[in-house]
Amino acid sequence: MNPGVTSLDVARLARVSQSAVSRAFTPGRSVSAETRRRIMEAARALGYRPNAHARSLITGRSRIIGLVLSYLENLFYPVALEALARRLQRDGHHVLLFVNQHPNADDLVDEILQYHVDGIVLAASTLSSGLAQQCADAGIPVVLFNRVMAAGAAGAVSSVRSDNEGGGRALARFLAAAGHRRIAFIAGNEESSTNLERERGFRDGLAAAGLRIWARGVGNYDFDTARRAALEMFARPADRPDAVFVASDHMAFAVMDALRLELGLSIPDQVSVVGFDNVPQAAWGSYRLTTYEQPVAPMIEATVGLLERYLAGAGVPAAENVVVPGALVVRDSARQAPAGAAPARAPGRRRPPARGGRA
């Protein structure tokens, strides 16, 4: 790179306007193939590279979108992060990743503001409502991804999420139709909107079949915590669930490993396991997990669309909440209903919930 070379030098050598040079180096801007070829040849000959920082000073835009996560262990987020980065790069943006390690939202907002991001995609579960509102108050467009503002939170921030309630209901119907009666649930983060919606849909689906949650544990979206919850839940052979819905695929893999390798149970012969997300690993031969798919591509498209509308100055209606329907993906980790069978209903008399996790 020759720091003394400017876009005007490139324009003169390529015999084009300076604005054509600018368009050629801006993703998504229109320029003919022949003009682009001449500009790129001139830039290589002169050793020219556009200065993104200088451009941001002129335009007032950094072209950076901040992505805030609580953690990366959940296998759904690396998939979503890659898809989001590719989609934003296609429009000339770049992703700056913030993994929250701050005890409160104020410190994280201060850090984000230092980078002059144009917008924020917020996927952090524990700070969603407060952090989103503070960023919005600072004039930074915010879209919540895979979650929604907490009930009663001040202000309004748009969100994009899959149909968590519909997914929970679909999984409940699937397990009930297969004849399961002792159906358990292992929750994620109990305070997150994602988990609350999935559990609410699951309870509604079971109730429609005359069932209720047989046993309940908490995995907190953590692999080892989910493993321990499964070992405790299935510790008593006479009282074991015959099926379990685990609130994420990441936790479901831990549960399957614990049931098979530590308790010697056969899946799905002795217990059916279903998850939520449909991450790539769910299709691996070791798991073949039945799960509810979060449709990453349309969720990303909706998220970028909201951000682009903000950045274009068109504005977004207050609290525009986009819910994208997913789909049940049936594999081998759960027993299936016989063709044409009606969903099973629980006996008229049901045992009361026991202490220590019964729901």
- Quote the pLDDT of residue 327: 97
Q: Which two tokens stand for residue 256?
A: 């399957």
Could you give the domains of the chain? 7-50 (no CATH), 62-162+296-325 (3.40.50.2300), 164-294 (3.40.50.2300)
- Quote the pLDDT of residue 105: 52
- Quote the pLDDT of residue 353: 39
Is-contact 26 1, C-beta < 8 A? no
Distances in Å between the Cα of 298 and the Cα atoms of 114, 294, 306 are 31, 9, 12
Q: Which long-range contacts (CB under 8 A, 24 or more apart) does 99-103 make?
A: 99/69, 99/70, 99/71, 99/72, 100/68, 100/69, 100/70, 100/124, 100/126, 100/127
> What is the arrangement of strands in the sheet containing 243-246, beginning at the earlier edge strand?
216-218, 183-187, 243-246, 272-277, 290-293, 327-329
Q: Please give the torsion angle defined by the CA atoms of residues 275, 247, 66 and 119, in that order, rounded to the nearest 10 degrees.
A: 100
List % helix, strand, coil for the chain (3-state, nearest 5): 40, 15, 45
- Quote the pLDDT of residue 58: 46
In the chain, DSSP assigns E strands to 64-69, 94-99, 119-122, 142-145, 158-162, 183-187, 216-218, 243-246, 272-277, 290-293, 321-324, 327-329
Q: Is the dihedral of CA 184, 189, 194, 197 positive or negative?
A: positive
- Quote the pLDDT of residue 349: 32
The pTM of this model reads 0.77
Q: Which residues pair with 159 in a beta bridge?
A: 144, 321
- Quote the pLDDT of residue 167: 98
- Quote the pLDDT of residue 92: 81
Which has the closest alpha carbon to 90: 266, 238, 301?
301
Which has the closest alpha carbon to 145: 184, 103, 87, 60?
87
Predicted confidence pLDDT, tens digits, the chain (359 residues): 566 788 788 888 888 888 888 777 766 567 888 888 888 888 888 887 765 555 554 445 667 898 888 777 889 999 999 999 999 988 888 888 888 765 555 567 777 777 778 888 888 765 556 667 777 677 788 888 998 876 555 456 789 999 999 999 999 999 999 999 999 999 999 888 899 999 999 999 999 999 999 999 999 999 999 999 999 999 999 899 999 999 999 999 999 999 999 999 999 999 999 999 999 999 999 999 999 999 999 999 999 999 888 888 755 556 688 999 999 999 999 999 887 655 444 433 333 333 333 33
Q: Which two tokens stand for residue 168?
A: 């929970």
